[in-house]
Amino acid sequence: MFRSGSFVAEHIDPVTDDQVQPNGVDLTLGDVLEPAAPGYVGREGKTVGARESISPVDAGDVDADDDVVSGADVFALDPGGYILQYAETIAIPDGHVGFLYPRSTLMRNSCMLNTAVWDAGYEGRGEGLLQVHHPVRLERGARVAQLVLAEADHAGVYDGDYQRERLEE
Ligand SMILES: O=c1ccn([C@H]2C[C@H](O)[C@@H](COP(=O)(O)OP(=O)(O)OP(=O)(O)O)O2)c(=O)[nH]1
């Protein structure tokens, strides 16, 4: 069974009322990174290749548009693959598994957010793969994705390399 948005909100920090949806909680855009060196996925080990931060520009520096809020931090992205870091800390409670879906407005703007499984016991500020197929402008703090939680049996709890990622930043 999938849990309600108000249940999911108990496991997201920080969260505001407007992020809470009927079936999940919207996550917002923290930072955008660009891969700068090859990573490695092996039979045993793995590494995440170096990435470089993309600097946001002031809203006043992108094409004027009624929808762009003055003073906002805006990532002006050309087509390519980027790492999107969520602003919120996510804690997947025991007895659950998390799934994340992109906000449809991203998709309608020719962007896609690819995600993996969120394991029971994981806590951290996670990442997703942002595919940009057409130039787009994304504001820091904008809602970009929605996390849902489903009840699930599990074998142990998450104890991998990404446990507690970016919590001390
Ligand atoms: O889109 C996603 C999906 C999951 N995660 C987090 C939660 C998940 O529990 C953790 C680890 O994911 P996974 O188990 O797939 O990582 P791995 O590549 O198998 O590495 P490790 O074995 O070190 O965990 O990453 C994200 O940040 N983004």
| All domains of the chain in start order, with CATH | 5-36+49-57+71-151 (2.70.40.10)
Residue 59 φ/ψ region, left for φ over 0, alpha for ψ in the -120 to 50 degree band, beta for the rest: alpha
Per-residue pLDDT, 72: 80
- 111-128 mean pLDDT: 98
pLDDT tens digits for range 11-64: 999 999 999 999 999 999 999 999 999 999 999 999 999 999 999 987 767 765
Confidence of residue 66 (pLDDT cuts 50, 70, 90): low
For residue 158, CA distances in Å to 67, 90, 127 come to 40, 13, 16
Burial annotation 149-160 (CB, 10 A radius, 16+ → b, else e): beeeeeeeebee
Of 82, 97, 119, 147, the residue with max ligand 1 atoms within 8 A of its CB, to mutate for a pocket test, comes to 119
What are the helix (H) ranges across 67-115? 104-108
d(CA 56, CA 69): 14
CA–CA–CA angle 144, 82, 159 (5° rounding): 80
Per-residue pLDDT, 107: 94
- Ligand 1 pocket, 100 CB below 6 A? yes
Of 117, 149, 158, the residue with max ligand 1 atoms within 8 A of its CB, to mutate for a pocket test, comes to 117
Residue 151 reports pLDDT greater than 90: yes
- Mean pLDDT, the chain, integer: 94
Per-residue pLDDT, 71: 73
Å from CA of 134 to ligand 1 middle: 28
Residue with structure tokens 């980027």? Answer: 82
